Amino acid sequence: MYKSIIRPFLFKFDPEEVHYFTFNLLKKFGFLTKLFFPKPIEDKRLEREVFGLKFRNPVGLAAGFDKDAKMFSELSDLGFGFIEIGTLTPKPQEGNPKKRLFRLKEDSAIINRMGFNNGGVDAAVERLKKNKNVLIGGNIGKNKVTSNEEAVNDYIICFEKLFPYVDYFVVNVSSPNTPNLRALQEKEPLTKLLSELQELNSQREKQKPILLKIAPDLTDEQLLDIIDIVNDTKIAGVIATNTTLSREGLVSENKVETGGLSGKPLTKRSTEVIRFLSEKSGKSFPIIGVGGIYSAEDALEKLEAGASLIQLYTGFIYEGPQLIHDINKKLLQTIK
């Protein structure tokens, strides 16, 4: 029903406007989703224990969909094993000027240049205080007005405020939509940033896993640096990958838009990065695989490449909640 009726209707409207429209519908009529979508699969065999946390299944929702922690409960009810909120910044910010979100239907993709639009970490914390049992990741970044030299302070603010209310953290230095942010992926500033967060983490009675989200556009040499940084700072793992700046092979007229590209064109590259990190690191840290997952087969490919968990975003928009069900069903079929 989603692909035949619901998606064609939603795709008639501006993608950002329809995003918020869908949020409002889910908030008011979420109880009706069971009439249109398959019942989430609950099976102990799907549980995964990764970086000390127990996930009810390995299929999560990637950051960017529920930036402000407004819908984590309703989205969890669709069958996700975990929800990653954000990217959150210390101060509220509007992000980049609209129009800033574009569908590339011929390519089964999306381009966004949102620019970390969010209501600020304090507002999200108030909503997270009401969380009962959803496993939450907190994706954190810096405000646009904060220089790279002062960026660590923004990450620390978000870390401190979110610490009691999220289960793991994701350090986002790989979005292409905040000026100069990706420069923080360089070895020296990234090591400094992660080391400071780990120092704060070590002072807590119970530490929280810290993960690094990386771009798919890194070279092999840069990926080897990432492995060194993860091992040196002893963070919990990596999320591979964020959106890409590549436009190779696209046919949609929206390919000319600036911003990060997500969706099917990223499927192969994100899997390559996962496999490279897994093999070259000797599987020394867990990887959450994200990028171009549109089918159960896509998900299995990333898990077989070395991912411990996976996340959906653009594939969820194109395929709907059925995709979560299909992946978990396929996983159960592979269990001997």
Specify the DSSP class assigned to residue 287. Answer: E
In the residue annotation, 270 being an active-site residue is answered as: no
Q: Which two tokens stand for residue 164?
A: 């009691």
Q: Which two tokens stand for residue 331?
A: 């996983």
314: phi > 0 → left, psi -120 to 50 → alpha, else beta; which? alpha
Report whether 65 contacts 316 (CB < 8 A). yes
Distances from the Cα of 70 to the Cα of 85, 90, 312, angstroms = 9, 17, 18
Specify the DSSP class assigned to residue 2. Answer: I
Element of type H or E holding 152: helix 151-162
Q: How far is residue 34's CA from residue 15's CA, in Å, rounded to a whole number?
A: 24
Q: How far is residue 96's CA from residue 149's CA, in Å, rounded to a whole number?
A: 22
Report whether 264 contacts 196 (CB < 8 A). no
Specify the DSSP class assigned to residue 89. Answer: -
Question: Which of 73, 76, 174, 175 is labelled catalytic?
Answer: 175
Q: How far is residue 259's CA from residue 108's CA, in Å, rounded to a whole number?
A: 16
Question: DSSP 3-state assignment of 85?
Answer: strand
**Could you tell me how many residues make up the chain?**
336
Indicate the residue type of 44. K
Report whether 139 contacts 88 (CB < 8 A). yes
Q: Which two tokens stand for residue 226?
A: 């990432």
**Rounded to the nearest 5°, which phi and psi values hold at 59?**
-105, 110
Q: How far is residue 189's CA from residue 186's CA, in Å, rounded to a whole number?
A: 6
Q: How far is residue 104's CA from residue 225's CA, in Å, rounded to a whole number?
A: 33
Positions annotated as catalytic residues are 175
